[in-house]
């Protein structure tokens, strides 16, 4: 994949555009961003631990963790009666690379406009 691709184009399996859209949708909510930050700080935590730190109920934490899980940002596993969650950084990496490509494309476009405006 080259940086010449249109970053505004629809989903492209080679660029992970579907993954990027899921990540953006999941991170659009400030509570989910706080949950992700808390999980990153703990390394691993239960919904009960997260609810004790954040101003939302355990049930709300569980629902937010479900959204983050579907976006591929966290993974949970059972330990006894509780589910423990941890951050999965790969989807964030895919999103960061997509944003880098968008930035590079716009840098190229703006440089071309600048050259035209300056009469080069």
Q: What is the pLDDT of residues 61-76, one digit of tens each?
A: 999 999 999 999 999 9
Overall pTM > 0.75 = no
Cα→Cα distances 69→38, 72, 91, 92, 115, Å: 15, 5, 11, 13, 46
Indicate whether 2 pLDDT > 60. no
Q: What is the mean pLDDT of the chain?
A: 84
Q: What is the pLDDT of residues 13-24, one digit of tens each?
A: 444 668 888 999
Residue 107 pLDDT class (50, 70, 90 cuts): confident
């Amino acid at each position: 994949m080259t940086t010449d691709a249109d970053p505004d184009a629809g989903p492209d399996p080679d660029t992970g555009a579907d993954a990027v859209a899921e990540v953006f949708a999941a991170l659009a909510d400030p509570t989910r961003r706080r949950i992700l930050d808390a999980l990153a700080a703990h390394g691993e935590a239960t919904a009960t631990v997260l609810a004790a730190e954040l101003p939302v109920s355990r049930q709300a934490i569980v629902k937010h963790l479900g959204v983050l899980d579907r976006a591929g940002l966290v993974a949970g596993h059972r330990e006894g009666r509780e589910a423990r969650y941890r951050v999965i950084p790969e989807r964030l990496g895919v999103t960061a690379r997509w944003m880098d490509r968008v930035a590079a494309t716009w840098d190229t476009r703006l440089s071309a406009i600048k050259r035209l405006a300056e009469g080069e």
